[in-house]
Amino acid sequence: MGYVVTEDAMASDAHFYLSCQDCHAGNPEGKDMASAHKGMLSRPSDDPVTSCGMCHEEIAKTYTLSLHYTAAGMKNGVAPRFNAAEKKVFDAKVFEQSCRSCHASCGDCHVKSPVISGINTGLLDGHKFVKTDETKTCALCHGGRVWPEFTGDYGGTPDIHYRKGMTCTDCHTGAQFHGTGMEVSGRKDVANKPSCTDCHDLSKLGKTETKDTHAMHDGLVSCSACHTASAYRQCSSCHEGKGATSSPAIVLGKNPRNPAELTTLRLIPTVRDTFTEHARLSMSNFDALPNYWDTVPHNIAKRTDRTRDCGTCHADQTYYLQANRIPAGLSKKNLELVP
């Protein structure tokens, strides 16, 4: 049974110096299940400050402003497509009822795997509190593309870091997950997000030719543009109502956040009627945002066809976003990303 607390857990996990009701509330004086469970909280860490914050006060406070908890990236990412009245409808009828269901509480990472479409793998290790178990936590929420790209489960090339024995938390630290106490609007605004150059000093890489190549492309081409090993998932239909169809591809184009940089792009399949069926919501400013956004695929390799042959990009322009290949009905803003 999923809720069993073993003697081993009670003896080895400091959290069990607390009683059940310290976290889950309920009525410990109840004489039957109905009365004992009255007022019980099945997910006490949905409110981190009053649960986990009893002991982890600072982490609980910062976590309530983190992206994993607020899901603010989903809210703010699409907001420029709406006028003021439409945004109010989106916030109430779409974000709060749909997007916010993806927010993660402390327990989703440290006690029990998160529920995705009604499915989860249960407790991570009995009822023990676990520091990390990426295969049961990260992989469930980010299993649509990131984790299978990283491990090669799509059939592509596994990430070199995965093949070397690294996992998510080797790059994405607890400080990043827990937040800094500063509210951010999306993942690009996270101050301590990982960077390739945190570990790879471009001035010390290999031969003189390698150093010169990196110096020449620095600031103009992202690391992933050259070092993405194989095709990654591009979603080619809308998530709302009809589901999404994925197709593997590498897409290179101008970074919408920094047009001077060539980078890997991923298709975000928002179309003009994405929210009409769900919330009768149109997007007056649909063309304010592109559908292609800068991404770092998690299938990195040292050597790819782009690192072996300059002509792949500079002559053939292989993988480049082309105007005639942009799916019909998408934003006109996409044309600005064609190299």
pLDDT in tens, 238-274: 555 466 678 899 999 999 999 999 999 999 988 888 8
Asked, for residue 319, whether it belongs to a domain, the answer is yes
Asked, for residue 208, whether it belongs to a domain, the answer is yes
Asked, for residue 167, whether it belongs to a domain, the answer is no
Asked, for residue 2, whether it belongs to a domain, the answer is no
How many folded domains does the chain comprise? 1
Share the mean pLDDT of the chain.
91
Dist. CA 111–CA 132, nearest whole Å: 10
Asked, for residue 42, whether it belongs to a domain, the answer is no
- For residue 171 the two structure tokens come to 């790059």
- For residue 149 the two structure tokens come to 């790209």
Mean pLDDT of 14-24: 90
Asked, for residue 217, whether it belongs to a domain, the answer is yes
pLDDT in tens, 26-57: 999 999 999 999 999 999 999 999 999 999 99
Domain ranges, residue 217:
195-339
Q: Which of 199, 17, 195, 41 is nearest to 106 (CA)?
A: 41
Strand, helix or coil for residue 258 = strand
Asked, for residue 155, whether it belongs to a domain, the answer is no
Dist. CA 298–CA 157, nearest whole Å: 10
Look at residue 194 and tell me whether its pLDDT is greater than 60: yes
Residue 3 confidence class, pLDDT cut points 50, 70, 90 = low
Asked, for residue 236, whether it belongs to a domain, the answer is yes
N-terminal to C-terminal alpha carbon distance within the chain: 56
